[in-house]
Amino acid sequence: MTSKKTLEWQEQQREFIEEWKKKMSELHLRSFAERWDSDKLEMEILQLIDDQELRNIFRFAKNYIYDHKSGHFRKFMSDVYEEIKQYGTMNPYKIIFLNKKIDVARRKMK
């Protein structure tokens, strides 16, 4: 369930999100035409993401999803991964929250 604050933030970012969706549809068409595998598509998506913190979150989420097959944090990371792919941006407060969660997860994985 998306919070009211997030919905308001997405409404403010509507122009960027619409542009992102257009880029993603073009990227998907190109990937089908050139028969890319999923890794190639993800690399192209990474190049479209402008914010370095968001890139790091996207990479961590992708790797965590592939390494772990179940769990609440995996589902959470899967939702984050899909949100980044869908919108191309994220609420700054959520980015701060995610960075803290990722730091905790990295410490536990050591």
CA distances from 64 to 34, 50, 88 (A): 28, 22, 19
Query: Quick one: pLDDT at residue 37?
Result: 87
How far is 21 from 87, CA to CA, in rounded Å? 7
How far is 88 from 48, CA to CA, in rounded Å? 8
Query: Quick one: pLDDT at residue 1?
Result: 59
Q: Cα 74 vs. chain centroid, distance in angstroms?
A: 13
- Single-letter code of the amino acid located at 105: A
Helix residue ranges, H only, the chain: 4-12, 14-34, 38-48, 52-67, 72-87, 92-109
pLDDT < 50: residue spans in the chain: none
Whether this prediction's pTM lies above 0.85 is answered by: yes
**Arithmetic mean of pLDDT over the chain:** 91
**Residue 62 CB burial class (10 angstroms; 0-12, 13-18, ≥19):** buried
State the residue for tokens 């409404």: 11
71-102: pLDDT as tens digits: 999 999 999 999 999 999 898 888 999 999 99
